[in-house]
Chain A
C-alpha cells in the first residue's frame, strides 16, 4: 500500500491535507490505469478527478486497510466504465473525435517528424483500440485489467466482488468475444 491506514483515517475524519497526500500517492498509478482502460489520454484527467471525488465522498464506508486498494481500483473501473458508456452514446468517428494525441501523431507523421518507435506505438494503440471497440465495455475493462494491467484472479475477485469461478466464466466469454472480433477484423482486411 502506498499510504498508511492512519492517513486514510485522518482523511476520513476530515483532514484535507491527508486526503491531498492520498491523492498525490495514487494519482499517477490511477491515471495510468485509466489511460489503458479508456484509451483516450485527453480524457484521463477528467476521469481521475471523478475517481478521487468518489473516493472523498465514500471514505467513511472504508472499514479496513486491506480493502483500500481493491476498492480504489473498483472506483476507477466504475468511473472508466461510466466514461466509456457516455463516450459510446456520443460516438463519432470524425477527425474531430480523434484524440489529441492521435491528431498530434497524425500531424507529426505527415510532416515526417515521428520516429519509428513513435509510429510503432501509435500503431499498437490504434490496433488495440480498434480491437477493444469490437467488444462490450464490460469485456474491454476485464480484458484490460487481466491482460494489460496483469492483475491476478485474486485481485480481480476483490475488485469485482465475485468468486473465482464466476470470474473465470466472464474471462472465458470475454476472450471468446475478443477472438471473434479479432478474426472478423482480420477477415475484413483479407
Chain B
C-alpha cells in the first residue's frame, strides 16, 4: 500500500562550509562563562511576587466585573418585567380580535346613515 506508506521526503541536507562550521564551533568557547549575580535569586523572587500580586489584583478586578455584570443583568431583567405590570401593559396584552369585536360593538350603537340621504 504505497499510498499509506508515503511520507514527505526530507529536503536535501545542505552542509555548512567548513569556514562557517569552524566559526560556529569556536563560538561556544569564545563566550565567557557567565556567573549569576548575587542578587539573582532575590530579584527573581521579587519578580515572582510582583507578578503574583498583579494576577491577584487582576483576578479581583475580574470578580468585581462579573458581579457588576450580574447585577446589571438582574436590573435589566427587572426593567423588562416591570413594564408588563403597568396599565399600558394591559392594552398591549389585548389581542387583535378582541379589539375588532370591541370596535364593532361600538359601531352597533351608531345609527346607520339613512338610505335617502345617499
Contacts and interface: CB of A to CB of B under 8 A. Distances in A.
Nearest to B45: A16
Interface of A: 16, 20, 23, 27-28, 31-32, 35-36, 39, 41, 44-45, 48-49, 52-53, 56-57, 101, 120-122, 124-125, 127-128, 131, 143, 147-149, 164-165, 168-169, 171-173, 175-176, 178-179, 182
Interface of B: 7-17, 19-21, 23-37, 40-41, 43-45, 47-48, 51
Contacts, number: 101
B104 to A, nearest CB: 75
A148 B16 contact: no
Nearest to A42: B34
Interface secondary structure of A, over-half rule: helix
11 contacts: A32-B31, A32-B34, A41-B32, A45-B37, A48-B36, A121-B30, A122-B30, A125-B31, A168-B10, A179-B14, A179-B17
Contacts of B31: 32, 35-36, 39, 41, 125
